[in-house]
Amino acid sequence: MARLIVVSNRVQPPGDGGEGSVGGLAMALAAALREHSGVWFGWSGQITPEYTGQISMQRSGDVTVATVDLEEQDRQEYYNGYANRTLWPLFHYRVDLSAYERSFSEGYGRVNARFAEALAPLVAEGDVIWVHDYHLIPLARELRARGVNNRIGFFLHIPWPSRRLLVTLPDHQELVEALFDYDLIGFQTEDSAGAFRDYVTGEIEGEMDDEGRARAFGRTAQVGAFPIGLDIENFEAAAHGEVALAEYERMVASLNGREMIVGVDRLDYSKGLEERFLAYEQVLEDHEALREQVFLLQIATPSREEVDAYQDLRARLDAVSGRINGAFATVDWVPIRYVNRAYRRDELAGVYRAAKIGLVTPLRDGMNLVAKEYIAAQDPDDPGVLVLSQFAGASEQMGQALIVNPFDRAQVAEAIAAGLSMPKAERVARWRELMDGLRASDVNAWREAFVRALMQS
Ligand code: GDG
């Protein structure tokens, strides 16, 4: 088939599934590229004193990894600025945290133009280009301006916000217009695809046709939902490896007869960590018998530490977890084990398996792969229970989890308590259905569906 060129902000050479990198996108792309001899293009993560446009090429198996360095102003305006201080909060419904500055959108346009300038000469006839995520929305426009006529698809890993929120962005129309230079625009969920269609028909007088194509600005793009899945083979291999097993045994030994509830997230305000701690506190308040019988292990890996909102969040979480621990701890029991470091992927698999409850309660999330990993790591004969936010994209597919509204503290607390006392037969029945779903829509199915739709668009 045609050569695949994947473009994302950061590039992570396809790993072995062991240590890997933190973040759902990197895991999924590494898996997608293993199946194609293609090119993965993006930012190296390095900063040079001045932008040179020089491309560094590296082979990793069948994949060519091509990266450019950026300069400090790019990192501040494009990455920390427009991507992570403007779009990320807005698309996660945090208009209060979304900052808009002209310099941010200028930096965003500049880096997208630089990426296109560097990438265009690498594109051959017949190549199919797949662009990922909110950092790179204008990339197709910039490539088209440089004569690239290939098929180009875009996939958004985070939610698409409702029209009423999107219009608070001063340049919302320019952003949406840029999407119409793609042949295919893919979202995680029907909810997001619906919000996009709503914007097209309601805000800019575009049209949707019967085949799912959007028409506006004199152009047409196919629109659809392509829920991302787990690299299940790779994850299961990691989960059955020595490291995972050793970690599982270490966790079980440290349980001391208690039940573990686990949360694993990048330290991000979209993940609902403070609300989660408070819901867990509610469990301890409401169920005296559970005190000293359970604990919450929250792994929250620091991310985007240069952005103020992330520093504020970290301070708040330190304070809330400290307060709860101070109020409830006994000499040999700490209610919350709160850990701020990154774990290996296979270690995480062992941790998930030892937990009776997987607590995945984001306030907004494109998909949430942790929910899927928790299920995939369980013991089929004695699986744990997933408590899942209705605002994670994963909830569209994972109806057999205990679905909760993360803003409703009492409801989350009740779901945790219900999960802890759920009979084994019910746990097994729910888990089986969830696991069948994961297998049927894994990362390969996602990649195949997207690439097929792109070829047909
Ligand atoms: C974005 C969207 C969407 C976490 N801590 C460690 C670690 N992780 C891994 C998890 C999981 C991944 O990072 C997180 O993926 P999520 O999907 O939960 O969330 P985001 O990073 O926000 O990803 C999201 C995703 O893109 C894919 O489209 O699902 O909605 O926001 O795989 O296991 N991995 C390692 N050490 C850690 O400490 N190795």
pLDDT digits (tens, 9 = 90+) for 180-196: 999 999 999 999 999 99
Both tokens assigned to 356: 């009776």
Helices then strands (H, E): number in the chain? Answer: 17, 16
Report long-range pairs for 214-218 (Cβ below 8 Å, ≥24 apart).
Answer: 214/180, 214/185, 216/176, 216/177, 216/180, 217/177, 217/180
- Domain pair 4-229+443-456 / 233-440, same fold: yes
Q: Tokens 């999407």 sit at which residue? A: 179
Please provide the average confidence, as pLDDT, over all residues in the chain: 94
Per-residue DSSP letter, 441 = T
**Residues lining ligand 1, Cβ inside 6 A:** 20, 22-25, 27-28, 157-158, 228, 264, 266, 299, 301, 342-345, 348, 365-370, 373
Topology (CATH level 3) of domain 4-229+443-456: Rossmann fold (3.40.50)
Ligand 1 center from residue 229 Cα (angstroms): 12
Q: Which of 397, 400, 390 is nearest to 433 (CA)?
A: 400
> Of 231, 266, 223, which Cα lies nearest the Cα of 365?
266
- For the chain, domain boundaries: 4-229+443-456, 233-440
Residue 387 pLDDT greater than 60, yes or no: yes
Q: Tell the residue nearest (CA) to atom 1 of ligand 1.
A: 24
Q: How far apart are CA 405 and CA 411, in angstroms?
A: 7
Q: What is the mean pLDDT of residues 81-105?
A: 97
Q: Distance between CA atoms of 440 and 454, rounded to whole angstroms?
A: 21
Confidence check: pLDDT of 1 > 90: no
Give long-range contacts, CB 8 A cutoff, 24+ apart: 399-406: 400/430, 400/431, 400/433, 400/434, 400/437, 401/371, 401/430, 401/434, 404/361, 406/272, 406/275, 406/276, 406/279, 406/361, 406/362, 406/363
Structure tokens, 18: 């062991």
Instruction: Say how far apart CA 434 and CA 375 lie, in whole Å.
Output: 7
Catalytic residues: 157, 365
233-440 has CATH 3.40.50.2000 classification: yes
Closest CA to 117 of 76, 82, 145, 136: 145
pLDDT digits (tens, 9 = 90+) for 245-260: 999 999 999 999 999 9
Candidate from 84, 160, 347, 367 with most ligand 1 atoms within 8 A of CB, to mutate? 367
pTM confidence score: 0.96
